[in-house]
Amino acid sequence: MYTEAEIVQGCLRNEKLFQELLYRQYASKMFGICLRYAPDRDVAHDIFQEGFIKVFQNLHRFKAESALGSWMYKIFVTTAINYIQRKLKTQLEVSINDQLYNKEDDISESEREHWLNHISTDEALYMVQQLPEKYRVIINLYAVDKLNHPEISKLLNINETTSRSQLSRARKLLSDMLKQQMERKFGK
């Protein structure tokens, strides 16, 4: 078994064995990141491939100040966001309708929690993938990557109010999808 430092050094020497070890060790986790941001598996594969290319091209910049996985995680999140902004030409702007959030249509937190206990991880991932790009990116950055609104606004070059509004709309859309899913499973 090789250490992380040995794997990195082997990759820097362009040794195929170490490149394959690095790939095998992190492929599953990094593909999971790509799936969260992508609308489907094909786009996720494109992001995944681009992410690993960037990892290998920039491995000389890895300073081992953090874990290799954490360093790669940042590369893959950034690659996913850049890919979506570039390839899918997403406009991360808020519309008037996005600012209107009807709390009367929202389900209660206890009802949502009950329903969440009855869906699989695959079903939840599918629901997130069904969100429009701008909402999917925000919900991933906020809920999964644990960034706050100032960090999101800086990363995406949007206003904090836009970030908050899009998160609110994403939650509403997910809540509606969850409600529909539960009604299909258990009836009204």
Confidence of residue 88 (pLDDT cuts 50, 70, 90): very low
Indicate whether 14 pLDDT > 90.
Answer: yes
Indicate whether 182 pLDDT > 90.
Answer: no
For the four alpha carbons of 169, 179, 103 and 148, in that order, the dihedral sign comes to negative
Indicate whether 174 pLDDT > 50.
Answer: yes
Torsion of CA 151, 88, 51, 26, to 10 degrees: 80
Indicate whether 85 pLDDT > 80.
Answer: no
Neighbours of 39 (CB within 10 A): 16
Q: Report how far residue 109's alpha carbon sits from residue 79's, in angstroms, rounded to the nearest whole number.
A: 33
In this predicted model, what pLDDT tens digit does every residue of 105-156 receive, in sequence order?
Answer: 445 556 555 555 667 777 778 888 889 988 999 988 988 888 999 999 998 8
Q: What is the DSSP string of 34-80?
A: HHHHSSSHHHHHHHHHHHHHHHHHHGGG--SSS-HHHHHHHHHHHHH
Q: Which residue in the block uniquely carries the two structure tokens 């790509």?
A: 34
Tokens of 82: 């850049």
What are the residues whose beta carbons fall under 8 Å from the beta carbon of 144, sequence distance 6 or more?
36
Q: Which pLDDT value is given to residue 78?
A: 92
Question: How buried is 38 (Cβ within 10 angstroms: 0-12 exposed, 13-18 middle, 19+ buried)?
Answer: buried
Q: Report how far residue 87's alpha carbon sits from residue 28's, in angstroms, rounded to the nearest whole number.
A: 23
- Mean predicted confidence (pLDDT) in 14-34: 96
Q: Which pLDDT value is given to residue 91?
A: 37
Q: Which pLDDT value is given to residue 185?
A: 73
Q: Specify the fold of 4-87.
A: Rna Polymerase Sigma Factor; Chain: A (1.10.1740)
* Residue ranges per structural domain of the chain: 4-87, 96-186
What are the residues whose beta carbons fall under 8 Å from the beta carbon of 180, sequence distance 6 or more?
none
Q: The pTM is what?
A: 0.66
Q: Specify the fold of 96-186.
A: Arc Repressor Mutant, subunit A (1.10.10)
In this predicted model, what pLDDT tens digit does every residue of 47-76 receive, in sequence order?
Answer: 999 999 999 999 999 998 889 999 999 999
Q: Which pLDDT value is given to residue 98?
A: 38
